[in-house]
Amino acid sequence: MKNISEQISATLPHELLDARKRAGLSQKAVAKSIGKTLRQYQRYERGEIIPPIDVAYMLADALQTPLSTLTGIEDFPPYNEVEK
């Protein structure tokens, strides 16, 4: 089983792209709505980096998509049960 970081890394880029296209938004528009540069957003969408949790929440809000959809994780386990 993948740990949480691996799960998010495998899921987030694809889901960001799909959600952005469904919303009919450009990368630049999403970047602006979350207060990031276009380059920074592009790195999230390509999977080069994973956004911090606060940015992930902003992305979910901007794309009107549940965070669970973007991350591929329905229920986050308690911290002491997370594989590190």
This prediction has a pTM of 0.85
Candidates 3.40.1160.10, 3.90.1150.10, 3.40.50.300, 1.10.260.40; CATH matching 4-68: 1.10.260.40
**Angle (CA) 67 10 38, round 5°:** 70
Domain ranges within the chain, ordered by starting residue: 4-68
Report the alpha-carbon distance of residue 48 to residue 46 in Å, rounded. Answer: 6
Output the tens digit of pLDDT for each of the chain's 84 residues.
468 888 899 999 999 999 999 999 999 999 999 999 999 999 999 999 999 989 999 999 999 999 999 998 887 656 566 555
CA-nearest of 55, 5, 66, 67 to 30 is 55
CA-nearest of 7, 3, 2, 1 to 47 is 7
